[in-house]
Amino acid sequence: MRVFITGNQGQLGRALKRVLEGETVAGCDLPEVDITDRLAIRAAIAACQPDVVIHAAAWTDVDGCARDPERAYRVNALGTQNVALACAEVGAALVYISTNEVFDGTATEPYREWDPVHPINPYGRSKAAGEWLVSHLLTRFYIVRTAWLYAPGGRNFPHRIIQLADERGALRVVADEVSNPTYAPDLAAALAALIRTGACGIYHLTNSGYCSRYEFARAILRQTGREHIPVEPITLDQFQRDSTPPRFAPLANTAAAALGIVLRPWEEALAEFLCSS
């Protein structure tokens, strides 16, 4: 199988290259190829003639998207349109990596794959637009939503919590934003398994279980011997930021679980990440 990965230098892209070592893998990332340049991404994908394109490239700075919604749409929506059109030309299936932020966070139980999207911030709206474009331009696609992604070697929530704990000796962490912490190598392995099934559709792939940012932070401190660090729970209203995230937006894995694809509990994945960091 020939696989092309956009954003192949990002945290998910690097993990995908490791789990797809047995396949023929190519890819692109900035600055060499910009997905907003239609001709450039078209040429890069055409040169590979892939069976599957995994579209992991995105502007994922949620607060940056809130400050510059036009850029968010240009990258996450129109860039995705360029990738989808290039897939159509070579007959490749497309895996579009989306987000829990396409939901509004007003649910009382985890969102399932068929729940209607209703984003409440520019990042979520731009990713929902990407989903719409993929589903209307292609017949063979996987829309894969994930949440709270972290990986070795990148800027992420666990590293930030450890850094701030060591610098300040005390933390204030939001307790009313809830979702699924997801370890990029686990997501990559699940994506590899998914594309090998050939079962196109909409999927939610996260580590099992969910928690608040506050609970996530407490687990990070506990697993790194910093449980003595005091953590004050605060509300989203008390945390000043440019974007408004959905309050309760964990994802339920229903469709992939029916194929036998289930990620391990988030606490186990976090322990492995912290041991390897």
Strand partners, 230: none
Q: Are 93 and 52 in contact (CB under 8 A)?
A: yes
* 73 among known catalytic residues: no
Candidate list 73, 111, 123, 183, residue with the active-site label = 123
Q: Is 52 helix (H, G, I), strand (E, B) or coil?
A: strand
The answer to whether the beta carbons of residues 253 and 208 sit under 8 Å apart is: yes
Peptide bond into 31 cis (omega under 30): yes
Q: Measure the CA–CA gap between 207 and 251, rounded to whole angstroms.
A: 10
Helix (H, G, I), strand (E, B) or coil at 113: coil
Q: Which residues pair with 241 in a beta bridge?
A: none
Short-list 22, 71, 78, 21, CA closest to 55: 78
How would you class 214 by CB atoms within 10 Å of its CB: exposed for 0-12, middle for 13-18, buried for 19 or more? buried
Residues tagged active-site: 123
